[in-house]
Structure 1
Amino acid sequence: MANSNFGRDENKNNVNLDEWVKQYLGESQTDITELREKVNNLWDTFYPVGSLYFTVVNNNPGAFLGGTWVLWGSGRVPVCINQSVTAFDTTEKVGGSIDHTHNLATGWAKIGLQGPSNQIVSRSTQAQSSYSPDKYVNVTVATPSGSVYDATELGGNTTAPSSISMPYIVCYMWKRTA
């Protein structure tokens, strides 16, 4: 019975094709060349130009699959193409932001008041659907001790929605169903 190692290097997951061919098919250089060509054609079928290969090992797939590979999408999350959403309608389109600032205009305001005994009283208030530049927020807060504080603060100055998308890069992701 043949060695069950299948030509794998003991310290790596890479298959040593030459050793495998010699072990199972003999020493003929013609056999090795023909088999190498068939294996390379098989890899080209499984991973044609444009394919993505996901792994957790820092090893360029060109070392064991052949071809030229480059790191892709560094620091971004892939999103499946969606032609009905402009942000996701083209492959390799990038967008999103790591940072996002919340303020009254983006949906939430936090109003803090300091009472006479230096206690901090706070209340979070959800913003209205639209604001004018001079919109004021009026809040009355009662503390557990029974004190009442009033606050009037200038609100936000924009009605534009803000993006909360993760940093992304658009790609095709196919699912075989049959």
Structure 2
Amino acid sequence: MTTASSADHPTRRDFLFVATGAAAAVGGAAALWPFISQMNPDASTIAAGAPIEVDLSPIAEGQDIKVFWRGKPIYISHRTKKQIDEARAVNVASLPDPQSDEARVKSGHEQWLVVIGICTHLGCIPIAHEGNYDGFFCPCHGSQYDSSGRIRQGPAPANLPVPPYQFVSDTKIQIG
């Protein structure tokens, strides 16, 4: 039976009970952590093609960024109205690899161009906002792409490929 004075003040036994319980909880969490952590994909799996999400909000109009997906450079361009109008004014039949600008961008998000940044000639990395068409210029052999990533001049046989992507929100895309 407890007296009024012992009920008001915790005893040594109460302290040991709480300390043992806390140590058991911390130990249990520490023991479970590796099991939970091993369920996440490792770095090689992520690099091998897991989808990536890219936040578009910091990209200013007229600016490009380069991200990597499956070890390949991906250019994401926030195109200006002028670039979009110029890309749409091109006679598609005159292109070496005919493809309209509308077919290379997502409807409702025409200002965003997403392409794999590997030249279709010999695999060099093109430079953004270079060349005669304000698009991409391959420094290896002089291929020039327009602001829609379509081949306009040079030895490259095809347009810059568009990777599989979707808009998760107005300011975020998922590639892959």
Tell me the TM-score normalized by structure 2.
0.25
Give the helix-richer structure, 1 or 2: 2
